[in-house]
Structure 1
Amino acid sequence: MAHDTTSRNDAPPPDTAPGTAADTAAGEAPAADRLNRELAGLDALELGGGTGRRLAQRTWSAAWPMLAAVVIALLAWQAVVWSGWKEPWVLPGPRDTFPVLWDQVTSSRFWKAVALTMRRAIIGFALSIAVGVVIGGLVSQFRVLRRAFGSLITGLQTMPSIAWFPLAILLFKLSESAILFVVVLGAAPSIANGLIAGVDYTPPILLRAGKVMGLRGLLLYRHLVLPASLPSFIAGLKQGWAFAWRSLMAGELLVIIGSTTSLGVLLSQAREFNNTADMISYMIVILVIGIVIDQLFGVLDRAVRRRWGLED
């Protein structure tokens, strides 16, 4: 018994014994915190650099095909000029055209023409969206209207816009309304078909889920069908813009209103005076505007697809 008592008295207290679990944890905690902070900083730095690199790679991957296409087009153009197929005054090369283009883009008359053309394009496209959404919404919801007007909408979409101008001039004379009339007829069917396709391809399980949640009528259409059909609707808007832009250029060539100056009027005047370099420079401007707007629609389309989980 004495031996046992001495052993217990000689043993150090538990809270003062060296190397206990409490002391080890207390010593390791600050070190672990420092390590976690350092790792977090390295991760943030790596992610930031990775984001910058990914953005640069994405920008370059989107830019180099267009730059390559421009270089190929310029080389092909210059090769045709070198071949002697046409006289230089009939078909000037890039070296003769680009100085003329620079003179045009630095003149106030040119920018007034661009402003008028873009104003017509914006108004016509806005009207086309309004008409296309109304028609597409009605046709997609009512089978009777789909049977009656579904094929007609597709037929209007395939009809050349220039074929409408005799009727437009007869109805509205040489006026802004004649141009806008043809722009709307050219663009609205594509927008309507885009909305109809989006509604048709809405997954049935989403429709059933919406009805279970109490969505009916306009609420179902507003909160479920329209968001689900947005990717196809954006594609319809993109195609509608292409038709609207083509219709507008045809209208400005055919319908010249008083002393107004637009891109179409400048193009027509250059043709009448055989100024081929001026004419090609205006065509380049029309092409560039169309490409820029198309790229903006592409950015919107990719953003919507990423949001809807359709693209990485």
Structure 2
Amino acid sequence: MIWEMVYKIGVDALGIWKPYSFPSPIDVFKTLKSLIGDNSLFIATVVSLRRLLIGYLISLVIGLPLGLIVVRYKYLDENLSSLILGLQTLPSVCWLPFAILWYGLNESSILFVVTIGSVFAVCMATESGIKNVNPIHIKAGKIMGAKGIKLYWNVVVPSALPDIIGGMKQGWSFAWRALIAGEMLSATKGLGQILMVGRDLADISQVVAVMIVIIVLGLIIDKLIFGALENSVRNKRGLGRVL
């Protein structure tokens, strides 16, 4: 209702914006209905989610062990931590020229951008979580006979799990951004491609419709997967709702 009221006042009454620069919610709903009706939105969503899942899983396979290894060895920690932090600050779009030159405009280039966009966030969260493990937990594990890999796997990693899950969640959001950036330039099927078509046709309703779909998908995945993981970890540690 607020959105429609702003549209009526800003576009129809005062003429602050042009209709092609600020859409009404009714036009956005009609565009969504049209995209659903011709099945293009469903196909694009499935394609994008498949790419996102593959790239994100690859980033987990690389980022989690890399974080464990870096924090395990002091030499690597001193020399690689700053480099990983610096790479994380790079926007995902900076990797697109490399992806295009190395792989061309195809599926591999998009997967590369998605993976590189999230792997460093996962690695940094794993490293930070392990560094912040309570020393008492480690001492207690050693007293009970845990050493080496056993101490790491049974004490250190479970203690760092909340931070690791937080990093996985952040990595997922970075993967989303990288995916849309890659699809916008590759001109293949996907939500990013529909977004670009809306831009090229000056159809702001289509652009906003795709943005809403991305937001809704992100919220659903966060609630069903990461929210469930966080609640499970908190409940196992006796940490219910604070307020």
Q: Structure 1 length as normaliser, TM-score?
A: 0.72
State whether structure 2 residue 243 is matched by structure 1 residue 310.
Answer: no
Alignment match, 1:285: 213
Amino acid at match of 1:178: S
State whether structure 2 residue 157 is matched by structure 1 residue 226.
Answer: yes
CA distance in 1, matches of 2:146, 2:9: 63
Task: Kindly provide the CA deviation profile for residues 91-122 of structure 1, in whole angstroms up to 9, marking residues without a partner as x.
Answer: 22112221221221233222111100000000
Amino acid at match of 1:253: M
State whether structure 2 residue 56 is matched by structure 1 residue 125.
Answer: yes
* Match of residue 141, structure 1, among 52, 58, 72: 72
Alignment match, 1:33: none
Alignment match, 2:173: 242
Alignment of 1:145-156 (within 5 A): 145-156=76-87
More divergent stretch after superposition (286-295 vs 194-203): 286-295
How large is the RMSD of aligned CA atoms in angstroms? Answer: 1.9
Runs of 5+ consecutive residues of structure 1 not aligned to the other structure:
1-70
State whether structure 2 residue 231 is matched by structure 1 residue 298.
Answer: no
1:303–1:75 CA distance, 2 compared to 1 (3 A): farther
User: Relative contact order (C-alpha < 8 Å, sep 6+): which is higher?
Assistant: 2
Task: Kindly provide the CA deviation profile for residues 248-275 of structure 1, in whole angstroms up to 9, marking residues without a partner as x.
Answer: 000000122xxx4211111111211222
Amino acid at match of 1:111: F
* Match of residue 191, structure 2, among 257, 263, 266: 263
8 Å CA contact 1:81, 1:93 repeated in 2: no
CA distance in 2, matches of 1:287, 1:79: 26
* Match of residue 196, structure 1, among 108, 127, 131: 127
Alignment match, 1:60: none
Shift of 1:207: 0.8
Amino acid at match of 2:100: I
Q: Structure 2 length as normaliser, TM-score?
A: 0.91
8 Å CA contact 1:139, 1:196 repeated in 2: yes
Shift of 1:241: 0.6
Alignment match, 1:170: 101
8 Å CA contact 2:7, 2:23 repeated in 1: no
8 Å CA contact 2:43, 2:190 repeated in 1: yes
CA distance in 2, matches of 1:119, 1:243: 16
Alignment match, 2:32: 101
Amino acid at match of 1:268: M
**How many pairs are equivalent?**
239
Shift of 1:84: 2.1
CA distance in 2, matches of 1:73, 1:215: 59
Runs of 5+ consecutive residues of structure 2 not aligned to the other structure:
none
SS in structure 2 of the partner of residue 254 of structure 1: helix
State whether structure 2 residue 203 is matched by structure 1 residue 275.
Answer: yes
Amino acid at match of 1:288: V
CA distance in 2, matches of 1:290, 1:74: 24
Task: Kindly provide the CA deviation profile for residues 150-187 of structure 1, in whole angstroms up to 9, marking residues without a partner as x.
Answer: 01111111111101111111111112111111111110
Alignment match, 1:183: 114
8 Å CA contact 2:3, 2:24 repeated in 1: no
Amino acid at match of 2:122: I
More divergent stretch after superposition (288-297 vs 235-244): 288-297
Shift of 1:311: 3.4
1:127–1:80 CA distance, 2 compared to 1 (3 A): farther
State whether structure 2 residue 88 is matched by structure 1 residue 157.
Answer: yes
Q: Which protein has the larger Cα radius of gyration, Structure 1 or Structure 2? A: 1
